């Protein structure tokens, strides 16, 4: 019955007048910055918001679960892969419109592209986003931030659909922004557009600030290795990276997963499995709790199924 529903969804999507990319059984390791994760039953890459709504509506009617994927930069997919439909937003939906101090961006636009577009238009407030490796949709969904800035400071409206294909539109207050969290994370809604209101700035100064942020990021973070960014949220008691470092865990590895020797807040993939990475996360949490009395909470989003025992 499940396979028949997948086949029916593919049939309905391909019957439409416009092309839509559909892949069956592709490994999620291809679509995450950690380069980990087993196969997804179906990956659909829409080109327009109307196609997004169609996928959600049809999948809901057929009883198929839908997982939203941006650039995969804050995501760990388990070795058994994902059952259901992965709706990949970053391939085509990357439009950015600027009018005065207002920017309206599609969810698939990269944060770095948005930051550069704002600076080029002499609009301030988005330089912090220049080195964040995710999409506008993903960054807004989790209220991403860096160097003292975060999305909640500049977002004015968020539009999209719920998992049945019904549209929604939230203003800043309705989004209920908090540290690395918005109401969308509790409601399972998908973003198609984000609107920003930005103050005027000086283009040269904004570009120079972005260069400085990216230089500092490259000096401190393992950007040339596979990671999902900061693995753990910043605890109220201090900084996760400092605690991990003070516990002597820099360089500690389980299988092909390792605590970065350059930045203890980053766990990196050096040719391991998602199971290695999860085991390392659990070990770090346990040691930090034993030594510091603080239970670190994952910032990375964990999805999918464990690999069958015989395949491990």
Q: Cα dihedral angle (118, 227, 188, 142), rounded to 10 degrees?
A: -40
> What is the reported pLDDT for 309?
62
Residue 268 clears pLDDT 70, i.e. is over it? yes
- 268 and 289 in a common domain: yes
pLDDT at res. 35: 97
Q: How far apart are CA 14 and CA 304, in angstroms?
A: 26
The question of whether 230 is a catalytic residue gets the answer yes
Could you report the per-residue pLDDT of 64-82, keeping only the tens digit for each? Answer: 999 999 889 889 999 999 9
In a domain, 215, yes or no: no
Q: Single out the catalytic residue among 53, 115, 227, 299.
A: 299
Q: What average pLDDT score do residues 244-265 get?
A: 98
Tell me which residue range forms the domain holding 70: 2-88
* Strand 145-146 with 102-106, pairing: unpaired
pLDDT value, residue 90:
72
Would you place residue 311 in the very low, low, confident or very high pLDDT band (cuts 50, 70, 90)? Answer: very low
Q: Give 17's pLDDT tier (boundaries 50, 70, 90).
A: confident
Instruction: Return the pLDDT at 133.
Output: 87
User: Domain count of the chain?
Assistant: 3
Residue 180 annotated among the catalytic residues of the structure? yes
Question: What percentage of the chain has pLDDT greater than the value 70?
Answer: 98
For residue 212, tell me if it sits in a domain: no
Checking if the pLDDT of 95 tops 50, the result is: yes
**CA 25 from centre of chain:** 21
Asked if 181 and 110 sit in the same domain, the reply is yes
> Looking at the structure, do residues 293 and 258 belong to the same domain, yes or no?
yes
* Residue range 203-233, pLDDT digits in tens: 999 999 999 999 999 999 999 999 999 999 9
Asked whether the predicted pLDDT for residue 310 surpasses 70, the reply is: no
Q: How far is CA 246 from CA 48, 139, 180, in A?
A: 48, 30, 24
Identify the DSSP state of 121.
T
Question: Are residue 127 and residue 153 in the same domain, yes or no?
Answer: yes
Listed residues 88, 115, 150: the one ending a domain: 88
The residue annotated as part of the active site, out of 180, 217, 234, 301, is: 180
Task: Name residue 298's beta-bridge partners.
Answer: 232
CATH number at residue 297: 3.90.78.10
pLDDT, the chain, mean? 94
Same domain membership, residue 100 and residue 83: no
Provide the pLDDT confidence category of residue 312 given band limits of 50, 70 and 90: very low
pLDDT per residue over 100-114, tens digit each? 999 999 999 999 999
What's the CATH number where 37 sits?
Answer: 3.30.43.10
Residue 29 confidence (pLDDT): 97
- In the residue annotation, 58 being an active-site residue is answered as no
Residue 183 and residue 189: Cα distance in Å, rounded?
A: 9
**Statement to judge: residues 288 and 230 lie in one domain:** yes
E-strand stretches of 46-120: 66-69, 75-77, 82-88, 96-99, 102-106
Provide the pLDDT confidence category of residue 242 given band limits of 50, 70 and 90.
very high
Calculate mean pLDDT across residues 71-97.
92
- Phi, psi (degrees; rounded to nearest 5) at 189: -115, 155
Last residue of a domain, one of 205, 231, 247: 205
Task: Report pLDDT for 32.
Answer: 95
Residue 18: per-residue pLDDT:
84
Catalytic residue chosen out of the listed positions 45, 73, 230, 260: 230
Q: Do 268 and 181 belong to one domain?
A: no
Does residue 190 fall inside a structural domain? yes
Dist CA 135 CA 213 (whole Å): 18
Name the pTM for this structure: 0.89
């Amino acid at each position: 019955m499940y396979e028949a529903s997948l086949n029916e969804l593919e049939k309905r999507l391909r019957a439409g007048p416009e092309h839509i990319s559909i892949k069956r059984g592709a490994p999620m390791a291809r679509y995450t910055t950690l380069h980990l994760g087993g196969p997804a039953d179906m990956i659909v890459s829409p080109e327009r918001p109307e196609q997004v709504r169609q996928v959600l509506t049809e999948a809901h009617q057929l009883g198929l679960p839908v997982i939203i994927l941006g650039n995969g930069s804050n995501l760990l997919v388990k070795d058994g892969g994902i059952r259901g439909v992965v709706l990949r937003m970053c391939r085509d939906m990357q439009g950015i419109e600027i009018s005065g101090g207002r920017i309206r961006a599609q969810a698939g636009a990269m944060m770095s592209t948005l930051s550069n577009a704002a600076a080029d238009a002499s609009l301030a407030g988005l330089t912090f986003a220049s080195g964040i490796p995710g999409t506008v949709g993903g960054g807004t969904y989790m209220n991403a931030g860096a160097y003292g800035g975060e999305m909640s400071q500049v977002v004015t409206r968020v539009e999209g659909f719920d998992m049945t294909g019904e549209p929604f539109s939230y203003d800043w207050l309705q989004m209920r922004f908090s540290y690395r969290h918005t109401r969308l994370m509790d409601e399972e809604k998908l973003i198609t557009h984000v609107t920003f209101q930005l103050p005027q700035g000086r283009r040269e100064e904004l570009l120079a600030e972005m260069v400085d942020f990216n230089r500092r990021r490259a000096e401190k973070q393992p950007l040339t290795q596979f990671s999902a960014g900061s693995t753990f949220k910043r605890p109220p008691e201090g900084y996760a990276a400092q605690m991990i470092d003070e516990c002597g865990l820099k360089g500690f590895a389980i299988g092909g997963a390792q605590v970065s020797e350059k930045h203890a807040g980053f766990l990196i993939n050096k040719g391991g499995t998602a199971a290695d990475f999860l085991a390392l996360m659990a070990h770090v949490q346990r040691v930090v709790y034993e030594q510091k009395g603080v239970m670190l909470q994952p910032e990375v989003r964990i999805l999918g199924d464990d690999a069958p025992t015989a395949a491990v």
